[in-house]
Amino acid sequence: MQVGVVCRVEKYQKSQWNRDSMLPTLIGQPAPKFRLPAVQYGAEETEWRTPESYAGEWLVLFFYPRDFSFVCPTELTAFSAHFEEFRLRNCQILGISVDTLDDHRRWFETPVSEGGIGPLRFPLASDQAGEFARACGVWLEEKQCAARGLLIIDPDGVVQYFVAHNTSVGRNSDEVLRVLDAVQSGGLCPESWAAADGTIDIVNELKPGRVLGQYRLVSQLGAGGFGNVFLADDLTLNRRVALKVIRATASSAREQVIAEARAAASLNHPNVCTVFAVETIGGLPMIVMEYVEGDSLSEIELSSLNSKERARIAVDISSGLTEAHAHGIVHGDLKPANVIVSNGGRATLLDFGLARHSRDGLPQTGPTTDANVGNDVDVTVIGVAVDENEKRPVGALSGTPRYMSPEQTLGERATTASDIYSFGLILFELISTRPAIPKLPLVEILDSIRSGRVREQVLSNVGSSASTLLAEMLATDPESRPTASDVKHELSAMNFDD
């Protein structure tokens, strides 16, 4: 007796169809929903298979034309023989054709010598009307059956691989296992790649002319503690962008970077570099930013600028900070290298939010000394802040040593007040044309910031016009520091020549 059932398939959204192709654009899209009757070898009862049947698992959807055909048995038995290898990869298999469940059962029971399939390790489903095959783009109208389509669906229900063969050409189970390994790796895998090969190290392969997604690299603009920055052409929107590729550090740190970059994307201000997008390509998170032409403040000989030019830079920095802080966004690593000055003299702040990290996932580097953090005190570092008296870790150290606030040197999370302290050190440089803190061993720098000696040295080397404001900005107590808006107001009336 035949089981008269048909599948139910959720209608596929027209927006997901590629108008230039006969096939739907399935890759990266949620797989079409289905509810298919299925049967296992040796079982009489009907099972209903849905995406929920495979929750938390990978799934290979294996379309084939018909039972009792010539090529199908070779494919199905090969995949069945490799079933344990699929299971080791947390992957299930579901075979699908237009045949009825009774046809499937007869195929199971018929001797192999007479065209039967024999025992299979995975179920066969019935898509009698071909609705699901149509939704997946593998339906052959003239033959009234499915092509040899195969989809790999990840545990989130997203299609990661799609292929369709001519009905006369079988699929290779070893190749499907290779592809499954590749998509599960999350990296870039070349032709003939195998799991033992490892994925392509994208960072080492990033060179001018390379294309990542929709971006063609033009040149490298710089490299820092969190990643490399490239000038790139956006091939879709036909514009120049700055592309920051985040290094493969601990996952929680990377997630924090991405989360805060997304928050910074809400800023739209002439003195803040705009974040256009946050994407992941080849397993690496990338931040796509406005490309700002000019030189960083750290590259400019400040003595070559007149007082009005330096004052404008200071006002621009305060304007950018005011806008960011109004949106609850903290920079956390404000320093001359993160300020770009255009040829017209306008200052733009870079890398908002990219210096913040939660403590989880930070490298445990031990005491903060030159030996384990490095000798360059002008680059962003991540480590463990240590109480030098008690020799014990007190928090996560993150920032650029010569521009850290006292609380950051103790491992506390950066706040808007921390940005004001860092800005105070930059403001002193703009007024005096020399750094507030000379290049000293790291421990000496951190101690001078914590003890308040830096503040004393700054105030003894500025005129009366700036001393009051700098005294407030460099207060050891964060609560005593002014807001960015207050600083902007004071700067508008300040004379840099005093």
pLDDT tens for each residue of 299-333 = 999 999 999 999 999 999 999 999 999 999 999 89
Lowest mean pLDDT among 32-41, 259-268, 332-341: 259-268
Q: What φ, ψ does residue 312 adopt, rounded to 5°?
A: -65, -40
Residue 309's DSSP bridge partners are none
pLDDT of 18 above 50: no
Domain ranges of the chain: 8-197, 202-290, 295-491
How confident is the model at residue 365, as a pLDDT?
A: 34
Residues 6 or more apart whose Cβ sits within 8 Å of residue 210? 216, 217
How confident is the model at residue 58, as a pLDDT?
A: 97
Q: Which residues are annotated as a binding site?
A: 244
How confident is the model at residue 490, as a pLDDT?
A: 93
pLDDT of 362 above 50: no
Q: Report d(CA 82, CA 459) in Å as an integer.
A: 75
Confidence of residue 415 (pLDDT cuts 50, 70, 90): very high
Q: Report d(CA 386, CA 380) in Å as an integer.
A: 17
How confident is the model at residue 477, as a pLDDT?
A: 96
Query: Measuring CA to CA, which residue among 321, 340, 294, 297 is closest to residue 435?
Result: 297
Confidence of residue 126 (pLDDT cuts 50, 70, 90): very high
Lowest mean pLDDT among 42-46, 281-285, 415-419: 281-285
Q: What percent of the chain has pLDDT over 70?
A: 78
The model's pTM: 0.61
CA atoms within 13 A on the CB side of 214: 12
Looking only at the bridges linking them, the beta strands covering 284-290 and 339-341 are: unpaired
Q: pLDDT: is 306 or 384 the higher one?
A: 306
pLDDT one-digit tens code per residue, 445-485: 999 999 999 999 999 998 777 899 999 999 999 999 999 99
Query: In 107-223, at which residue ranges do the beta strands (DSSP E only) sit?
Result: 124-126, 139-140, 145-146, 148-153, 159-165, 211-212, 215-223
How confident is the model at residue 82, as a pLDDT?
A: 94
How confident is the model at residue 66, as a pLDDT?
A: 93
Single-letter code of the amino acid located at 64: Y
How confident is the model at residue 305, as a pLDDT?
A: 93
pLDDT one-digit tens code per residue, 137-174: 999 999 999 999 999 999 999 999 999 998 889 999 99
How confident is the model at residue 289, as a pLDDT?
A: 92
Query: Measuring CA to CA, which residue among 357, 382, 387, 362 is closest to residue 372?
Result: 382
How confident is the model at residue 244, as a pLDDT?
A: 86
How confident is the model at residue 222, as a pLDDT?
A: 81
Where in the sequence numbering do the catalytic residues fall? 72
Confidence of residue 357 (pLDDT cuts 50, 70, 90): very low
How confident is the model at residue 312, as a pLDDT?
A: 95
CATH of span 202-290: 3.30.200.20
Single-letter code of the amino acid located at 23: L
pLDDT of 12 above 60: no
How confident is the model at residue 372, as a pLDDT?
A: 35
Lowest mean pLDDT among 271-280, 380-389, 434-443: 380-389
To the question of domain 8-197 being in CATH 3.40.640.10, the answer is no
* Residue-averaged pLDDT of the chain: 82
Confidence of residue 402 (pLDDT cuts 50, 70, 90): very high
Region class of 414: left (phi > 0), else alpha (psi between -120 and 50), else beta: beta
The CATH number of 295-491, from 1.10.510.10, 1.10.3720.10, 3.20.20.150, 3.40.50.300, is 1.10.510.10
Q: Which residues are annotated as a binding site for ATP?
A: 244
For residues 243 and 229, is the Cβ–Cβ distance under 8 A?
Answer: yes
Query: In 249-307, at which residue ranges do the beta strands (DSSP E only) sit?
Result: 275-281, 284-290, 295-296
Query: Measuring CA to CA, which residue among 447, 258, 230 is closest to residue 361?
Result: 258
